[in-house]
Structure 1
Amino acid sequence: MTPEQIVRTFVDHFHRRGHRCAPETSLIPPPGDPVLFTTSGMHPLTPYLAGRPHPSGRRLVNVQRCLRTTDLNEVGDRTHLTVFDMLGSWSLGDYGIAQSLRWGYELLGDGFGIDPGRLHATVFGGDEQVGPDQIALETWTALGVPVELTRGENWWSNGPTGPCGPDSEIFVWTGDGAPTGTPGGDDRWMEVWNHVQMRYHRHDDGRLTPLRQSSIDTGMGLERLEMVLRGGRSVFECAGLTPWVDSVRGLWRLDEESLRVVSDHLRSAVVVLGDDVRPSTTGRGYVLRRLVRRALTTLWRDDPSRTLSELPVEPYVDTVRRFRQQAEVGRLRELLSDEERRFRGLLLRGRPVVDRCRSRGPLTEQDYRWLHDTHGLPRDLVDGLLGKGG
């Protein structure tokens, strides 16, 4: 299936079950949300998950572009991306977890043709405050899907306080041969879909009280699902990543991890720019700057003459289209080139400063702090491009 066919299959499945489309938002969260970027499809729906009536009803479905800064250091492996599309469905005080899991099982098997024998679920096994999720356990058992019970791994929360509750994650076997082991012990089990029960509110003192409305929030990464359906070994083989991977590989010789980092970060930067974020020293702009400069740091380790102006226009065009943005591609390329020029200037100014520090001996933690706070030179830049301090 193409990504477009996957999205259509997902949305149609829930339309037939009474869900209506919730509008997609940009990567910029709604006012009052403390998170820098939209990290999941539920973020724009937070007021409705808390009990406010949604104009489209109590059953919703959509696709939402997301960005997770928590995964930045994981990018380079086979499954993590900075920006991705999230397929989501919601029950706002309507049906419960058993119905959600049964519909999910039907979609994966009947809709996407995934062999049920390749599925494994994890379920909240209980802790000192809340007992095991017996309904989810019984639902999966009745469907013939093996279950692994966990604690914290299957407890969803939006932070130390606020809405929270048990979840059940669906994993698909991506290894060769028959499935073995469990998701907790074998990383060939890849998580594709999480079904969250928002049932509680956690208070500052750790107490849990029931929410006025119990809701279901599910999220499935489009690129991971595409990887499963293609029989691929990584998300970087998927349609939305290959324009970047092929362009970067065609221009520069990089090891596999570096190739993935550069491809992911440049693609992500284009999406962030397309939602009107600009590089800066704080907040969202700093995340964008970090993406661009980490990609450049990786490129310049072997050859500082490499430049983003060598990249063809096709990956930009493809990314803007796939993420349903209206940005002008020429302007996006200009913005990346401007940031590259600023970064080159920072390197020229920073190298003699770092050399003076190193002349006194190996760099200390105090040196790193001073280089960052006074000259804007982050540690990874100092170590990666300006010489390790020993």
Structure 2
Amino acid sequence: MTPDQILRTFLDHYHRRDHRDAPESSLIPPPGDPVLFTTSGMHPLTPYLLGRPHPGGRRLANVQRCLRTTDLDEVGDRTHLTVFHMLGSWSLGDYDIATSLRWGYELLTEGFGIDPGRLHATVFGGDHQVGPDETAWATWTELGVPVEANGTDNWWSNGPTGPCGPDSEIFVWTGDGPPTGTPSTDDRWMEVWNHVQMRHHRHDDGRLTPLPVSSIDTGMGLERLEMVLRGGRSVFAGDGLQPWVDAVRGRWPLDGPDLRIVADHLRSAVVVLGDGVRPGNTGRGYVLRRLVRRALTVLWRDDPTRSLTELPVEAYADTLRRFGQRAEVEPLRAVLLEEERRFRGLLRRGRPLVDRLRGRGPLTERDYRWLHDTHGLPRDLVDGLLTEAS
């Protein structure tokens, strides 16, 4: 199934169950949200999870673009992305977790045709404040899906404070042969869908109090689901990532994690730019700058003459179209090329600094921190300069 077919199947499933479409928001969260970017589909709906009536009703569904800085260090493997599409459904004080899980099971097995034998679920096992999620456990058991209980891994929160609650995660077996182990013991189980019970509000002191209404918030990564449905082993083989993978690999001899990092970060940078963010030294601008410079760091590790000017505009245009952004390609491309120029200048200025420090002996952790915090030189590039100078 193509991403468009997956999205249509998902929304049709929930439309038949009286859900209305919630409009997609940009990566910039609503005022008052504590995070820099929209990290899940529920961010734009936070006021409604706190009890405000939604104009669309109590049953909603949509696709939302998201960015997670917490996953930056994991990007480079087969399944993690910085920017991705999140398929979401919500019950704002309407149906319960058992109904949500049953409908989710129906969609995965009947709508998308996933073999029930390839599914595994996890639920919240309880802690000193909240008891185990017996309803979710009983529902999965009734459906014949293996289930295991965990602690904090199955507790979802919007941040250090705010709406939170126990969640049930659905995993699909991506290995060869029959499934083995559990999600906590075998990483070939890949999480595809999360069903959260938004029942609590966490305060600054860690206390939990009940929300005005108990809601359900689900989120499923479109790119991961596409990988599962195509029988693939990497999200980078999907329609949304392939143009960047082809563009990068077609010009430079990159493979493995290096190829995936460059493709992901450049694609993500285009989406962030498309939502109006520009490179800077703080906040959202710094996240964007870090994405671009990390991609350039990988590119220049073996050949500092490589340039983003070599990449075709088609990859930019494809990404903007898939994320429904109306920005023009050339102005965004010009921003990236200017950021590349600034970074090259930084490196030219940084080489004498590195040489001076090396003259005193091997670099210390304090030296690395000073080079990064004061002059913006990432460790990977500092080590590259050292290799070049030695």
Q: Name the TM-score, length of structure 1 as normaliser.
A: 0.98
- Secondary structure of 2:250's match? helix
Distance 1:386 1:8 in 2: 52
Q: Work out whether 1:90 is the aligned partner of 2:90.
A: yes
Contact 1:71/1:82, CA 8 A, preserved across alignment: yes
Counterpart in the other structure of 2:249: 249
Q: Please tell me the residue identity of whatever aligns with 2:300.
A: W
- Secondary structure of 1:251's match? coil
Distance 2:112 2:368 in 1: 51
Q: Work out whether 1:100 is the aligned partner of 2:72.
A: no
Distance 2:64 2:205 in 1: 33
Contact 1:297/1:384, CA 8 A, preserved across alignment: no
Distance 2:273 2:173 in 1: 35
Counterpart in the other structure of 2:322: 322
Q: Work out whether 1:305 is the aligned partner of 2:305.
A: yes
Distance 2:384 2:8 in 1: 43
* Alignment deviations for residues 161-182 of structure 1 (CA, whole Å, 9 cap, x no partner): 2221100000000011111110
Counterpart in the other structure of 2:275: 275
Q: Please tell me the residue identity of whatever aligns with 1:92.
A: L
- Secondary structure of 2:149's match? strand
Q: Please tell me the residue identity of whatever aligns with 1:54.
A: H
- The offset of 1:37, in angstroms, is 0.5
* Alignment deviations for residues 268-327 of structure 1 (CA, whole Å, 9 cap, x no partner): 001111111000111101000000010011000100110110011111111011011001
- Secondary structure of 1:84's match? strand
Contact 2:121/2:171, CA 8 A, preserved across alignment: yes
- The offset of 1:40, in angstroms, is 0.5
Alignment of 1:119-268 (within 5 A): 119-268=119-268
Alignment of 1:280-291 (within 5 A): 280-291=280-291
- The offset of 1:353, in angstroms, is 1.1
* Alignment deviations for residues 77-96 of structure 1 (CA, whole Å, 9 cap, x no partner): 01000000000000001001
Which shifted more, 82-91 or 123-132? Answer: 123-132
Percentage of matched positions with identical amino acids: 82
Contact 1:199/1:211, CA 8 A, preserved across alignment: yes
The total of aligned residue pairs comes to 390
Contact 2:249/2:255, CA 8 A, preserved across alignment: no
- The offset of 1:387, in angstroms, is 4.5
- The offset of 1:388, in angstroms, is 9.4
Q: Please tell me the residue identity of whatever aligns with 1:145.
A: V
Counterpart in the other structure of 1:63: 63
Distance 2:370 2:105 in 1: 54
Distance 1:217 1:167 in 2: 9
Q: Please tell me the residue identity of whatever aligns with 1:125.
A: G
Distance 2:367 2:53 in 1: 54
Backbone CA RMSD of aligned residues: 1.4
Distance 1:48 1:95 in 2: 15
Q: Please tell me the residue identity of whatever aligns with 2:130.
A: V
Q: Name the TM-score, length of structure 2 as normaliser.
A: 0.98
Distance 1:8 1:76 in 2: 29
Q: Please tell me the residue identity of whatever aligns with 1:20.
A: R
Which shifted more, 229-238 or 203-212? Answer: 203-212
Distance 2:221 2:322 in 1: 14
- The offset of 1:129, in angstroms, is 1.6
Distance 1:386 1:294 in 2: 18
Q: Work out whether 1:362 is the aligned partner of 2:362.
A: yes
Contact 1:248/1:259, CA 8 A, preserved across alignment: yes
- The offset of 1:131, in angstroms, is 1.2
- The offset of 1:386, in angstroms, is 5.0
Contact 1:122/1:148, CA 8 A, preserved across alignment: yes
Contact 1:372/1:378, CA 8 A, preserved across alignment: yes
Distance 2:130 2:157 in 1: 14
Compared CA separation, residues 389 and 61, structure 1 to 2 (3 A): farther
5+ unaligned residues in a row in structure 1: which ranges?
none
Compared CA separation, residues 99 and 145, structure 1 to 2 (3 A): same
Compared CA separation, residues 78 and 123, structure 1 to 2 (3 A): same
5+ unaligned residues in a row in structure 2: which ranges?
none
Q: Work out whether 1:375 is the aligned partner of 2:375.
A: yes
Distance 2:285 2:383 in 1: 23
- The offset of 1:207, in angstroms, is 2.2
* Alignment deviations for residues 60-89 of structure 1 (CA, whole Å, 9 cap, x no partner): 000000000000000000100000000000
Contact 1:382/1:388, CA 8 A, preserved across alignment: no
Which shifted more, 249-258 or 259-268? Answer: 249-258
Compared CA separation, residues 257 and 373, structure 1 to 2 (3 A): closer
Counterpart in the other structure of 1:296: 296
Counterpart in the other structure of 2:39: 39
Distance 1:386 1:81 in 2: 30
Q: Please tell me the residue identity of whatever aligns with 1:238.
A: G
Compared CA separation, residues 87 and 50, structure 1 to 2 (3 A): same
Compared CA separation, residues 165 and 384, structure 1 to 2 (3 A): farther
